[in-house]
Structures are given as structure tokens and as C-alpha cells.
Chain A
């Protein structure tokens, strides 16, 4: 039911492409930066999925003899002071980043959509109350909110996801609410009301599917922010606990002590974080241009 009609979007973007490859070629030429972003994101996801096949070492097994090993053929990105292979840790770290990024974005969108849809559709006092609560939440930066949440929930993968998801809710709720406000006045909503459809049915069948495009755009943009926030939380010791490899904590463990003597311990997780965030942001920008006609020139 709630599917995006790609042909419609393609036509609106001015494409005259047929087939999968024709479409892909059109998109690449039209959104070159978005294509770069898409490639980075695909590589990131593949690394996360196939980490065990891409690495030779267990990311948590220590080896005193390899302590602080330089990048060589054995350890292509070197090893940390406990002798854990950095490439393994970076590759497995992609899993954590992806899990937290996707998990918290999904959870944040789920709650945000429910809040925004009801707020925009039913209005009145409920809307007023929700919007003032959202004002309060939006007054705090994402990281500060996440910090407060993470500190009160305690460090674990699940809690990190929740801690990052909650601060994402206001953004999603705002966008969905404003969309709902305009959609509920559409004649096709009136038509549904005229046949006697329930208000809940209208909200789910007509309003929600039409907010999907902006939601996808928003979710991609939030994904980068979520990954970055996870790294920041872990860097500050409030995110993913040991022994799971998290890019953020890899930085914090090594930054002070080894940045001069073993810079590869800082550089590679840093590059991983930057690339993942950069890729999702590029993809998000291209998706916005593609799916949001108001941005299109």
C-alpha cells in the first residue's frame, strides 16, 4: 500500500530512462554527489554485514606480541596496545554504528510519526501540548539530550539506541505534523470522509503514505547524525560498553596516550566515522533533491 511510485518521481525529475541500468545511469549523472554517497553507504553496509569474512582476526582477541603493531601485511591497519587487529575492529565497528544508526533512526521515526500524525490530524489542545513539549526538547542540542538520556539509562547497546532515538523524535514529529496539516485539507481526504471512512483510517491510508517521501529524506539525514552521536557518546564513555568495538570509543582510548606514538589508532576510526557520516549526508541531500519537489529547480 504505502509504496513510493518511482516512475512518478523519475518523471517529475525529468528522466527519460527505462530499465534498472538506465535509471541508475540517469541518477548518477543527475546527482553525482549522491551517487558517491550511495557508494560509500553501500560499502559501509556491506562491511558491516560481511565483517567476519573480510577480517582475519577476532576484533576482541588480544595478542601481547602485536601490541601497538604498525600497519603491515599482517595487520593492515595496525593493532592497538592490547594487540587487537585494527581492521577487524573498524570493520566490526561498522556493525555497531549501523545498528545504532538504523535502530535509533527507525525508533525515532516510529515515535515521531505517531506523535506528528496525531498532533497534526487531531489538533486542538493535544496539538498545543505536544508542540510545546517539542519546543522544550528542541531547545537542547541533539548531543546534550542524548548525553542526559544515556547517562540516566546506563551504557548498553539498547540504551544507546533509545538515548539517540528520543532526541530525534521532535524533528520527525515537526515535519510529519506540518505535512499532515496540509494533507488533511486535500479533496481526496474529503472524498474519504464523504464515504464514511473513520478519521483513523484516513490518517493511516491517505495522510501517512503521502508523508513518506519527506520522511525518507529526513531519516537519511538523521542517520548520519545518529552515527555521529553514537561515536560522541562512546567517546565520552556513555555509549557502547567494552568489549564491543565502537569507533567513538576506539578514538577516546587512544587519543590521549598514543596519538604521537601510534597515530593509526586514531586516524583509521576517525576516517571511518567521517566517511560514514559524509556518505549518509551526501545521499540524504540527493534524496531530498529527488523526492522533495519544492527543492527542485
Chain B
């Protein structure tokens, strides 16, 4: 099945590691400025040390609840937001500190698909111009060649050539998301970051778009960073899953491992919150109490200790490191 997808020959990276993306201890702290002099009075610790990698043809699902920093991770990788610390390597090249001009060639390597299919397309441009824009920006081919390329992209994502001159409002939500996917594909990237790409769609349309993304991955050997809060969708598309809580990874493993034997209490809680469409099945429920603490003043030690049912004194003072429990299952918990 999907797990058997092998990256195409030649799709590997310059380093030979086969990783299209390597993120090392990535941090993004947004300063909070107050007063007339705009003094920094504190920070929002949106992303606080995140490490993972994605191979060609592989999907990493990044899950967590609202406000945990998932989307910020995606935007920092694309350098739409400047990282505070850490490093980002695309196909083995460090892009963390590149200037705008130096970034340009790497922009062709990675693209993004947005959550909202309505605000992610310019309402005053035709669908064809939207999809062709990346080609124009990078000066790929002549005008007529570009139009042909756009037509091919349209067909590849399941739209008709004849729809190129239509405006976004003439498409349905699912079709608009296909336009967004075609735009992301235009420059032949190696990595696509999907920021909740199906959360705004109807369930039936979600399946279509997910399947399209999986087909494209099989054909093109794309690496996906799939950001979502919907565990069912993530289970369907991902090879590996990273669970994020308050700016940090708490668990990082193969999809099967995560879903069959979650080790972090937070992952357990997330999984037990997934509804099962069979009332006969009785499961052990782990319900987490309270709210997510403010990312402006995250709790000391393990970020999760304020809500963790198993927390001990050590959790309140010492930050748990992400340790390998064997089989590539990394968990940040003192108790495992």
C-alpha cells in the first residue's frame, strides 16, 4: 500500500541522506512589544525546539491542537517567517540564513497549500493566471509554453483546460483547492507543505483531495509535511507522524507505531478523542483536564505536566528530551 511507496531513482538529495527536508532544533519566539518605545516585554514561544526530517516520497503528519505552533513550523520552513534559532536544510542545503535573493532558487524546491480555498486565490485573477504565476516569477519558458504547462497542470489535478479563464468564484471549494495544488506543483517542487489543506472542505471532497495528493506523491516522489488536527486524515495520508504540544514535539514515530502503541500521555489522549464509528467498541479513555497553558508563559519542565494525569515532581522541573524508545519511536516523557 502507501507505506511501500519508494522514492523514484534520482529523487534523492545532494547529501545522499535522501532527506528533502531536515529541521534541526527549530525555534520561533515572537516578541511582544508594548508602550511608546516598543520595548520587548516578553515572547510568545510558538515553536520551541523542533527536530524532524522528511524523505522524498514520504509524508510526515504534524498534529496538535490549535495554537500549538504547527502552522508556524510550516511558515518558518518556507521562510515566510524568520526563524529565531535552529536550522532548516532543503535537499541538504542550509537555507536558514539565506537572503531573499539567495532564497529564490530554493523557493522552487518547496511550496505550500493553504487551508482556506477562498482567501488563498486572488479573486481578481483567472485560475490559469494563478497557476501560471510561479512560472512567470521564475521566468520559466515563453508565454505560450507557460500556457501549455498550465493546461497540463490543470489536467493533472483533475480540472479541465477550458476552466483556465474562469475566476476563482466560479469554482467550488474542492476545485479551488485543486487550483491551489496546481499552483504548488507548477515549479516542480520536491517538498509540499500542506497547512490543513482539507480542513475547510466537505468530508466527501476531503477524500478526493487527499487521494489526489497521494497520487501526485506516487508519481512525482514528493515529500509532504502535512499539518492537521484531524487524526483520521493524517492516519490515511502519513508515513510518519509528529505530535506537537505547545511548541515542542512530544512524540515522533511511524504511523503504525503511533496509532497502535502511543507512548506519550498527550498522544494517548489525542487518540482516545478520535471518534470510532462503532458503538460496541469500548476503549480506555484518557481525558485531559484543563486548557492549554499560554505560550507566552509556558510551564517549566515538561510543558504537558499541568494536564498530565501521570505527572510526577520531576516533570515540573526537568524538560524531558526526545528519546528513542526503539524502532524509531521518539518520545519526550520522563516516565517511559
CB distance from A13 to the nearest CB of B (A): 13
Give Cα A276–Cα B108 distance, bound, in whole angstroms: 55
- Name which residue of chain B comes closest to A183, CB basis: B122
A19 is an interface residue with CB less than 8 A from chain B: no
Q: Tell which of A186, A194, A201 touches B112, judged by Cβ atoms closer than 8 Å.
A: A194
- In B58-110, which residues have CB < 8 Å from any A CB? 75, 78, 80, 103-104, 107-108
- In B192-248, which residues have CB < 8 Å from any A CB? none
* B124 in contact with A195 (CB, 8 Å): no
A292 is an interface residue with CB less than 8 A from chain B: no
Number of interface residues of A (CB under 8 A): 25
Give Cα A205–Cα B137 distance, bound, in whole angstroms: 11
Q: Tell which of B104, B107, B169, B187 touches A8, judged by Cβ atoms closer than 8 Å.
A: B169
- Taking A187-B114, A209-B124 as contacts, is the C-beta distance between A193 and B80 under 8 angstroms? yes
* Contact string against B for A residues 191-226, beta-carbon threshold 8 Å, 1 for contact and 0 otherwise: 111111100010001100110100000000000000
* B114 in contact with A195 (CB, 8 Å): no
* A196 in contact with B107 (CB, 8 Å): yes
Q: Which residues of A contact B115 (CB under 8 A)?
A: 187
Size class of the contact patch on chain B = 20 to 34
* A187 in contact with B107 (CB, 8 Å): no
Q: Which residues of B contact A197 (CB under 8 A)?
A: 133, 137
Give Cα A98–Cα B78 distance, bound, in whole angstroms: 51
Q: Tell which of B123, B130, B180, B183 touches A210, judged by Cβ atoms closer than 8 Å.
A: B123
* B104 in contact with A206 (CB, 8 Å): no
B167 is an interface residue with CB less than 8 A from chain A: yes
A2 is an interface residue with CB less than 8 A from chain B: yes
Q: Mostly helix, strand, loop or mixed at chain A's interface? A: helix
Give Cα A190–Cα B71 distance, bound, in whole angstroms: 13
Q: Tell which of B75, B114, B124 touches A2, judged by Cβ atoms closer than 8 Å.
A: B124
* A210 in contact with B124 (CB, 8 Å): yes
B258 is an interface residue with CB less than 8 A from chain A: no
- In B298-334, which residues have CB < 8 Å from any A CB? none
- In A1-31, which residues have CB < 8 Å from any B CB? 1-5, 7-8, 11
Give Cα A8–Cα B111 distance, bound, in whole angstroms: 29
- Name which residue of chain B comes closest to A8, CB basis: B169
* A196 in contact with B104 (CB, 8 Å): yes
- In B109-141, which residues have CB < 8 Å from any A CB? 111-112, 114-116, 119-125, 130, 133-134, 137-138
Q: Tell which of B75, B111, B123, B180 touches A195, judged by Cβ atoms closer than 8 Å.
A: B111
Q: Which residues of A contact B137 (CB under 8 A)?
A: 192, 195-197, 201
